[in-house]
Chains A and B, each alone.
Chain A
Amino acid sequence: ELKVEQNPLFLSMQEGKNYTIYCNYSTTSDRLYWYRQDPGKSLESLFVLLSNGAVKQEGRLMASLDTKARLSTLHITAAVHDLSATYFCAVVEGSSNTGKLIFGQGTTLQVKP
C-alpha cells in the first residue's frame, strides 16, 4: 500500500528565508505532483515531476524528484508572505494510467513579515 508522508506538517518562517519541504513515499512511482491550497480554497497545481532527477522551478519555488530515494523536495527561496498556504504532494501508485493519487498530509506554510 502506497503511503505518502510530508514533513514538516507546519512551518513558520520569516520573509527572505529559505526552507525545504520533504515528501517521502513508500512504493515505486514514476509521477509526483505538488499542489497549493489557500485557506478555504481549492487545490492549484504547481508542478508535475515525471522522472528521476526531474527539477521544475516557478518563481521562488523549486521542486525535485529522486525516485530511487522515493523523495521529492519543494524548496522555497527568499520566502514572501504570498507563499503562505498549504502545500500537498501527491503520488500515483506504480505506473497506473488511472491517475489515482495518494496525497500527503500537507505542509502549512506561514510566512511572517
Chain B
Amino acid sequence: DAGITQSPRYKITETGRQVTLMCHQTWSHSYMFWYRQDLGHGLRLIYYSAAADITDKGEVPDGYVVSRSKTENFPLTLESATRSQTSVYFCASSEGRRTDTQYFGPGTRLTVL
C-alpha cells in the first residue's frame, strides 16, 4: 500500500543500547522529518532531510543520528539509548513545496529501561 510506514511500532530496549527506527514512504516526497512526542511538549523536530544525502538538525537532535541514502527511507538511530529518549516517534514526509502539508506515519512507541 502507498503511504508512510514506520517499524517497529513498539520497541523496548535498555539504556546504552543502539536502536534504529525505520521510516519508509512510497510517495517519492523530497522532504522527510523525525519528531518525538512527549506529554506537555507537543511534537518536537529531531532531524529533517530535504533530499537524499541532505539532512539537518531540528530542535532536539542530541543523541540521535540520521541518514538518507535513498529518497524513500529515513532511518533514525539512537546511538546509546537513554531513559529520557522514551517517547513516541513520528516520521513525516512532504513534497517540499512551500505550501505542502506534512503527512505523518503511524508512530513508534519506544521505551528505554
Contact = CB atoms under 8 A, between A and B. Distances in A.
Interface of A: 4, 31, 33, 35, 41-45, 48, 50, 88, 90, 97-106
Contacts of A45: 101-103
A4 B42 CA distance: 10
A97 B98 CA distance: 5
Contact of A42 (B31, B44, B90): B90
Contacts of B45: 100-102
B48 A98 contact: yes
Contacts of B94: 99
How many residues of B sit at the interface, in one of the four size bands? 20 to 34
A106 B100 contact: no
A88 B99 CA distance: 18
A100 B106 contact: no
A100 B48 contact: yes
A40 to B, nearest CB: 9
A48 B42 contact: no
Contacts of B106: 41-42
B40 A42 contact: no
B44 A103 contact: yes
Contact of A48 (B40, B96, B101, B107): B101
Most chain A Cβ neighbours within 10 Å, of B35, B45, B106: B45
Which 3 pairs show the lowest CB-CB distances between chains A and B? Answer: A103-B42, A43-B104, A103-B43
A70 to B, nearest CB: 17
A88 B106 CA distance: 16
B40 A105 contact: yes
Contacts of A103: 35, 42-44
Given A41-B107, A100-B33, A103-B44, 13 more contacts: A31-B98, A33-B101, A42-B106, A42-B107, A45-B101, A99-B33, A99-B96, A100-B58, A101-B102, A102-B45, A105-B41, A105-B42, A106-B42
